[in-house]
């Protein structure tokens, strides 16, 4: 799968752009705040139907405009395929493959596998468990098309159960109607199979993913230390919906559901201690880089379709050794992962990266001489000849 062309209209600070990409390596260079990341974000949008950096769709529309559009012309097995997304102030997002609108956006996820590595990844280690669940969900949904609908259904039922619990928390327990108990029971019965499906998908994913992560970290760190990754879930030792029934009294007081797959987490440890507590900045950077590269390699092996790899402003945050290891991995034609027992040929379909200066990239590695370069300045994008 190759992205041949990208057309943007009023996307963030980019008024109008029509870009023709190289099949292998593409670089966007320019000072900070000029729009380089916005191009990557548009490519991300076309894979995931939403922005990587903006919570609301309306935040993707250029200031003062009423609509925005991103359209990508892809080539798959020699055949062209057009994916487009239209955004309108106060209107519904339109997402289209060819000339047909998607009825469910979740049906699109996985068609264009993609991994983005950015400075914001630091939150995967340092922030709360929600970020780490999103990492799992974003990976699994790209190869298991039953996962996202199940997760969305569970989340909707969870929201309804929480709403009911808040009503109970604000009412007199002595006068709470028995119908509330029945409604809670109905929600729990519907949630149980969905929770188990989500749990099992995550458990299997982490089990298969850990060797990819371990091997990738070993390559980037030159084997200097080992970081471990483990899946934590309440469902590992609890039976649903009995657990919900047992915690109803506490949940009424809290006003939210305290047990379920929505509390799952990933634990990173080094030397038996949590990475975020004892690791150096260099170790944390290596951990995050290994995590994202392992995600891309895992998807390449799982789907047999190499993903797009987006590298956003990461080279200035790495020392020369890690840059060298990273460049060898992403530009190489062959990768061997011994623990995962996997050999991959050209594991990334197409690479897009950003940096402040093309000469920085050329100085870092000769592989960047083959890169097609675009200069970005105040939302204007031109090819660098």
Residue 257 has pLDDT above 60, yes or no: yes
* Separation of alpha carbons 303 and 300, rounded Å: 6
Q: Where are the domains of the chain?
A: 1-113+349-385, 120-303
User: Which residue is it, tokens 């201690």?
Assistant: 273
For the stretch 315-330, pLDDT in tens is 876 777 777 788 888 8
User: What fold is seen in the domain 120-303?
Assistant: Glutathione S-transferase Yfyf (Class Pi); Chain A, domain 2 (1.20.1050)
* Separation of alpha carbons 241 and 260, rounded Å: 10
14 close to 338: Cβ distance less than 8 angstroms = no
Residue 175 has pLDDT above 60, yes or no: no
Considering only residues 282 and 257, tell me which one the structure prediction assigns the higher pLDDT. Answer: 257
* Separation of alpha carbons 279 and 273, rounded Å: 9
For the stretch 63-108, pLDDT in tens is 999 999 999 999 988 899 999 999 999 888 999 999 999 988 989 9
In this structure, what DSSP letter does residue 307 have? P
| Mean pLDDT for the chain overall | 90
* Separation of alpha carbons 252 and 25, rounded Å: 55
Total residues found in the chain within this entry: 385
CATH, range 1-113+349-385: 3.40.50.300
- 152 band by pLDDT with thresholds 50, 70 and 90: very high
Report the DSSP pairing between strands 308-311 and 114-117.
parallel
| Burial letters 219-237, b for 16+ CB under 10 A, else e | bbbeeeeebebebebbbee
Residue 309 has pLDDT above 70, yes or no: yes
Phi, psi of 98 (to 5 degrees): 65, -125
104 close to 153: Cβ distance less than 8 angstroms = no
The verdict on whether omega for the bond into residue 33 sits within 30 degrees of 0, i.e. cis, is no
Contacts of 285 (CB under 8 A, 6+ apart): 317, 318, 322
* Separation of alpha carbons 184 and 360, rounded Å: 59
- 245 band by pLDDT with thresholds 50, 70 and 90: confident
Report which secondary-structure segment, H or E, holds 85: strand 79-88
* Separation of alpha carbons 375 and 385, rounded Å: 10
> Can you give the pTM of this predicted structure?
0.91
Q: What is the dihedral of CA 328, 21, 98, 145, to 10 degrees?
A: 10
Helix residue ranges, H only, the chain: 36-48, 122-126, 129-140, 147-169, 178-221, 242-246, 248-254, 275-278, 281-303, 320-331, 358-364
């Amino acid at each position: 799968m190759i992205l041949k062309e990208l057309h943007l209209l009023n996307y963030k600070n980019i008024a109008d752009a029509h870009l023709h990409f190289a099949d292998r390596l593409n670089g966007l260079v320019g000072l900070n705040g000029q729009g380089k990341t916005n191009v990557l974000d548009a490519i991300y949008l076309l894979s995931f139907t939403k922005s990587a950096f903006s919570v609301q769709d309306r935040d993707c529309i250029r200031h003062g405009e009423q609509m925005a559009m991103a359209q990508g012309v892809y080539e798959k097995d020699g055949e062209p395929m057009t994916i487009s997304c239209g955004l309108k102030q106060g209107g519904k997002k339109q997402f289209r493959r060819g000339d047909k609108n998607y009825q469910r956006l979740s049906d699109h996820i996985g068609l264009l596998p993609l991994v983005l590595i950015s400075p914001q990844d630091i939150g995967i280690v340092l922030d709360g468990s929600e970020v780490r669940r999103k990492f799992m969900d974003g990976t699994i949904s790209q190869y298991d098309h039953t996962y996202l609908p199940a997760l969305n259904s569970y989340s909707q039922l969870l929201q309804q159960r929480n709403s009911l619990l808040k009503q109970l928390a604000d009412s007199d327990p002595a006068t709470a109607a028995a119908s509330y108990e029945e409604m809670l029971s109905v929600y729990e019965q519907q949630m149980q199979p969905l929770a188990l499906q989500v749990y099992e998908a995550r458990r299997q994913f982490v089990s298969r993913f850990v060797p990819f992560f371990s091997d990738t970290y070993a390559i980037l760190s030159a084997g200097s230390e080992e970081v471990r990754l483990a899946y934590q879930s309440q469902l590992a030792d609890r039976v649903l919906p009995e657990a919900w029934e047992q915690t109803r009294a506490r949940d009424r007081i809290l006003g939210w559901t305290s047990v379920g797959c929505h509390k799952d987490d990933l634990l990173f440890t080094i030397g038996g201690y949590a990475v975020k507590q004892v690791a150096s900045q260099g170790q944390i950077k290596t951990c995050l880089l290994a995590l994202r590269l392992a995600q891309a390699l895992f998807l390449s092996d799982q789907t047999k379709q190499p993903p797009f790899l987006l590298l956003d402003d990461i080279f200035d945050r790495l020392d020369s050794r890690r840059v060298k290891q990273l460049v060898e991995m992403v530009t190489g034609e062959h990768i061997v992962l011994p623990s995962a027992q996997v050999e991959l040929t050209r594991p990334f379909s197409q690479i897009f990266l950003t940096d402040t200066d093309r000469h920085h990239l050329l100085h870092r590695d000769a592989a960047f001489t083959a890169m097609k370069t675009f200069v970005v300045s105040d939302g204007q994008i031109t090819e660098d000849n």
